[in-house]
Amino acid sequence: MRIQSVELRHTKMELVSPFETSLGVELYEEHIIVRVDADGASGWGECVVEPRPSYSSETLDTAWHVLRDFLIPGILGIEIRSVEDALSRNAWVRGHRMARAGLEAALSDAFAKTQGISLSALLGGTRSQIPVGVSVGLQPSTSELVRVVAGYLKDGYKRIKIKIAPGRDIPLLEAVRKEFPNIQLQVDANSAYTLKDVELLRRLDEYDLQLIEQPLEYDDIYDHSVLQSKLKTPICLDESIRSVSDAKAAIALGSCKIINIKPGRVGGYTESKRIHDYCAEVGIPVWHGGMDESGIGRAGNVALATLPNFKLPGDISATKRYYKQDIVEPSFEVDSDGMMAVPTKPGIGVDVLQGRLEKFTVRREAFRA
């Protein structure tokens, strides 16, 4: 496959409702959509960087720079035999995982399309539908939280994740558990606590949580091992796991019992699969996280989550949970059993709506061989 051109688009899409976490409030999602054209196929990927370096140290501008000045020149005009072949040409680039993941996603879609197979099949997926959950942001009041959770349960979701932050934790769980004693419930702290909060975090054990996600520092592994030894609730690491070597260290130290995989955070599908396979080998379940992707990124997430060790429902929700208008069709839906169907057409399996994409593009740059 010869890479003829690559296009970057900075997109800005309005979320259906503000999404508040311990990191701040988001009203819009701004990402970079990557398009790769090769052998008559267009491959699409979503680089999940944000304008500010809050969740990750990358930003829209750093990713744009690294893509434009290093990653794209490394593959443009080149004949590649496989996605791995393309990646090997940029293997010298350190860090900048979200930038690399966006390009790998677009290359993988193009490659799957030229082979006439689905992205799920290319990645080694084994399922035609996947269990999905929903991530609920911090709400203005506890009663509003209960109302929002009730709505999602009615929509079919079988697993609810709620965001917590210091001062907005135990009362939320108390209210949600009182109303819904038997649902699969997990919490996500996005690094908002420290080891000084051990006593408070131990109280989470009373709420029968499936897991607590990333309670401590975003780049910590050791303190999480201290915390895990004091909690019954399994810790799941998100921000701290950037590579398979982080996963090995975290598992060896007992810092977590579950791992969240986001291809953007770890540098792409290939590294995601390494983490997935290592965790499968040592009996650690993984699940797929989300970054409020448009349908392009979501389609990639769905494909990756068809691999067998994705044991828990992912943060891969229906299109309508995020956007009134998406840039792909058909939209992603969740059924009454909390399952999402995996597209079967070649590549990401959904069609990109050019008019919509144009409407949401705030900056564009194209590179030709």
- Which residue of this chain has its Cβ atom nearest to ligand NPG in the complex? 290
With contacts defined by CB under 6 A, name the span among 144-152, 225-233, 248-256, 286-294 that binds ligand NPG: 286-294
Phi, then psi, of 293 in degrees rounded to 5: -65, 155
232 catalytic, yes or no?
no
Q: How far is the CB of 276 from ligand NPG (least distance, A)?
A: 18
Q: How far is the CB of 116 from ligand NPG (least distance, A)?
A: 29
Phi, then psi, of 130 in degrees rounded to 5: -130, 145
Binding to ligand NPG in span 46-65, by CB under 6 A: 55
Q: Other C-beta atoms within 10 Å of 57: how many?
A: 14
345 catalytic, yes or no?
no
With contacts defined by CB under 6 A, name the span among 4-12, 33-41, 202-210, 283-291 that binds ligand NPG: 283-291
Q: How far is the CB of 135 from ligand NPG (least distance, A)?
A: 3
Q: How far is the CB of 290 from ligand NPG (least distance, A)?
A: 2
Binding-residue total with ligand NPG (CB under 6 A): 12
Dihedral (C-alpha) 179, 190, 324, 337: value to the nearest 10 degrees? Answer: -50
Q: How far is the CB of 234 from ligand NPG (least distance, A)?
A: 16
* Residue 143 token pair: 């009663």
* Residue 4 token pair: 């003829």
With contacts defined by CB under 6 A, name the span among 94-102, 124-132, 271-279, 285-293 that binds ligand NPG: 285-293
Rule CB under 6 A: say whether 152 interacts with ligand NPG: no
Q: Other C-beta atoms within 10 Å of 369: how many?
A: 13
CA–CA dist 185, 213 (Å, integer): 11
DSSP sequence for 192-257: ---GGGHHHHHGGGGG--SEEE--S-TT-SHHHHHHHTT-SSPEEESTT--SHHHHHHHHHHT--S
CB of 157 closer than 8 Å to CB of 132 = yes
Kindly tell me the sign of the dihedral angle through the C-alpha atoms of 30, 296, 266, 190.
Answer: positive
CA–CA dist 218, 318 (Å, integer): 28
Binding mask 153-192 for ligand NPG (x = CB under 6 A): -----------------------------------x-x--
Amino acid of residue 100: R
Binding mask 295-334 for ligand NPG (x = CB under 6 A): --------------------x-x-----------------
Q: How far is the CB of 296 from ligand NPG (least distance, A)?
A: 13
Quick one: 11 or 190, whose CB is closer to ligand NPG? 190
CB of 133 closer than 8 Å to CB of 184 = yes
Binding to ligand NPG in span 5-24, by CB under 6 A: 21
Quick one: 220 or 315, whose CB is closer to ligand NPG? 315
Quick one: 7 or 188, whose CB is closer to ligand NPG? 188
Quick one: 64 or 157, whose CB is closer to ligand NPG? 157
Cross-strand partners of 363: 10
Binding to ligand NPG in span 195-254, by CB under 6 A: 238
Rule CB under 6 A: say whether 291 interacts with ligand NPG: yes
CA–CA dist 314, 300 (Å, integer): 13
From the list 102, 263, 267, 290, which residue makes contact with ligand NPG (rule: CB under 6 A)? Answer: 290
Rule CB under 6 A: say whether 135 interacts with ligand NPG: yes
Q: Locate tokens 């999402």: which residue?
A: 340
CA–CA dist 280, 162 (Å, integer): 26
CA–CA dist 193, 197 (Å, integer): 6
- Positions touching ligand NPG (CB under 6 A) are 21, 55, 135, 188, 190, 238, 289-292, 315, 317
Catalytic residues: 163, 262
